[in-house]
A and B are shown apart, each in its own frame.
Chain A
Amino acid sequence: MIPLRYNARSLVRRRTTTIAAALGMALVVFVLAASLMLSSGIKKTLTQSGRPNVAIVLRKGSDAELASGVEKAHVALVSAREEVARDGSGAPLSVGEVVVVITQEKIDGNGISNLSIRGVPENVYAFRPTVKVTEGRPARPGTDEVVVGKRARGRFKGVDLNKAFELKKNLPVQVVGVFEDDGSSYESEVWGDLETVRRGFGREDGVSSVRVQLTSPEKMDAFKTAIEGDKQLQLEVFPETTYFEKMSEGTSAFVNGLGITIAVFFSIGAMIGALITMYASVAQRRKEIGTLRALGFSRSSILFSFLMESLMLAVAGGVLGVLAALGLGFVKFSMMNFASWAEVTFSFNPTPEILVFAVVFGGIMGVIGGFFPAVRAARVPPIAAMRGA
């Protein structure tokens, strides 16, 4: 076998063209890795707050909280089921919440964007123990005070600690606290008093959704059957985990699809780059190749050697692209979540699988792009060694 260092050093020798072609590959791998990381980040953000023992109850046929409505009377009925866990005082562990989306001017001057407002009852912190008010204080029930999620904070006009903004015309609210929830999608929301939000948006008759904590995840089926079986209610039950997964599907699939589409288009360019680089290299090295053939190296060993060379080129580019993509780990990215029609802030989630896949993808591009030049190299006859350069 022709030693790999022959190929590695040949690449180094043609530094300029090698770097140009490798950068093309790096770009492809970067785009691919970045979109996969973002898609994974979206899934992580949108699904992490789901708990297997929590059921979400929506109006039948409405896939998301925003489109759903549950009558006040039904909230009590649902909460009273025997599968629902109770706190020390015997009150059911359940929350009925109103979710609305408002448009709000952004701080960076990029016009307006959607902001999710959640009207929450008093026991919301007990119901979601992972949510912590980290700055300021919780909003007092029955007031026009709100708390804002860490990721929504500072992105919209007035949506920051000790500032004020209007939920709608003539409905000003005061931001008294900032909350965190391990980076979940709640962090992109504003939480206000349930009654205030209800009144402001004409939802006095009910809530958007009811969440109940069951005594155990095994009770999910029984609860679901009972609620959905009651045809009067016209309600639908989802395990919270399933619900969040469904919510994230559209958005993460969109990002995935977009990223892969862009990567595939770019990769055509990068493949042509590798192709041209390797063709030029083969043309320049005809005498070298002829000499190798004269010394007795077979056509197939020449073919393999040149395939390895373009593979090395591509993998070097790929590693560079992946390193650049890793740098995105520090970048926050906000975009519309299609399911909630509100802006949610995501981060890029690098997983080993994604990084390896992206580099392998680059490598495959390199082998494909390098194939025809390698065939041409393998066709160089041994007498090419005798002729002038």
Chain B
Amino acid sequence: MSTAASSAHASAGITVRDVTKVFYRGKEPLTVLDKLNLEVTPGQFVALMGPSGSGKSTLLNLIAGLDRPSQGSVQVGQSSVSNMADSELAKWRSQNVGFIFQTYNLMPVLTALENVELPLLLTKLSGAERKKRAQTALRVVGLEDRSTHYPRQLSGGQEQRVAIARAIVNDPSLIVADEPTGDLDRQSADDILTLLTKLNTDFGKTIVMVTHDPAAAERANVTRRLNKGQLS
């Protein structure tokens, strides 16, 4: 992480243009996003709010390259995310996006260090270098003394910090977080938000965070509200 500031893709801007996302329930079409536009400048910390079912996660998935829009385009940094083939997209995600999930999504059978190391297995780094970087990432989230612990031996807040370490270990240009504090108590939630703020201010990461929590949204530079397929 010490090299983050000098990284080639320390942060990325996002351009979402006229994006429509339609899901089908059987034959019934459900338009979740309707010609939606969003601009995120490099290094911005954006909070996405809105009622349940409004399409926040759907939008986040499109930005992070987990899914493709029905229409419109998504551009992240220099990459046209909505145009990439599956395998290309997987590689792009591994190099450019850090994921933080509401339910942490750590591998239960891997230790904290092994979980953090996972994304590095897709790089050409040596085993020793991978270990070093994973340890550094754990230090950033303050859990270097828990590296050999398994997820079940950690509290929810600690699990989420390990997940954050995993999200930053590849030094991505963009971090997406879907309700990262949704399952946490106030204190742990605040710790996580402080960490995210630090990643944004100290390391210049672009962050898009979906949240229901106004206190969380306050930490962001901007808050956008999603309603009936449109942003306001």
Return A27 CB to nearest CB of chain B, in Å: 27
A15 within 8 A of B: no
> Closest CB-CB distance, B179 to chain A, in whole Å?
10
Q: How far is the CA of A297 from the CA of B119 in the complex (A)?
A: 8
**CA distance in complex: A372, B64 (Å):** 29
Most-contacted residue by chain A among B57, B92, B121 (CB, 10 A) = B121
B218 at the interface (CB under 8 A from A): no
* A3 at interface by CB-CB < 8 Å: yes
Q: Is A13 interfacial (CB-CB < 8 Å)?
A: yes
Cβ–Cβ contact B101 & A296, under 8 A:
no
| Total residue contacts A-B, CB cutoff 8 A | 77
Say which size band chain B's interface belongs to.
20 to 34
A59 within 8 A of B: no
User: Cβ of A234 < 8 Å from any Cβ of B?
Assistant: no
B91 with A296: CB separation less than 8 A: yes
A3 to B64, CA, bound (A): 25
List A contacts of B107 (CB < 8 A). Answer: 6, 288, 291-292
Instruction: Decide if B109 touches A295 in the complex (CB within 8 Å).
Output: no
Least CB distance, B223 to chain A, in whole angstroms: 21
In contact, B66 and A386 (Cβ under 8 angstroms): yes
Interface residue from A1, A297, A382 paired with B66 (Cβ < 8 Å): A382
Which of A5, A291, A389 has most B Cβ within 10 Å?
A291
- Across the interface, A295 reaches (CB within 8 A) one of B108, B114, B118, namely B118
A1-59 at interface with B (beta carbon < 8 Å): 1-3, 5-6, 9-10, 12-13
**A287 within 8 Å of B (CB atoms):** yes
B19 to chain A, nearest CB (A): 16
How distant is the Cα of A381 from the Cα of B67 in the complex, in angstroms? 9
CA distance A12 to B64 in the complex (A): 33
**B66:A13 contact, CB within 8 angstroms:** no
Which of A13, A287, A298 has the largest count of B CB atoms less than 10 A from its CB? A298
Interface check B84, CB cutoff 8 A: no
Q: Which B residues fall within an 8 A CB radius of A? A: 57, 61, 64, 66-67, 86-87, 90-95, 99, 101, 103, 105, 107-110, 114, 118-119, 121-122, 166, 178
5 A-B pairs closest in CB distance: A296-B94, A9-B109, A291-B105, A382-B66, A296-B93
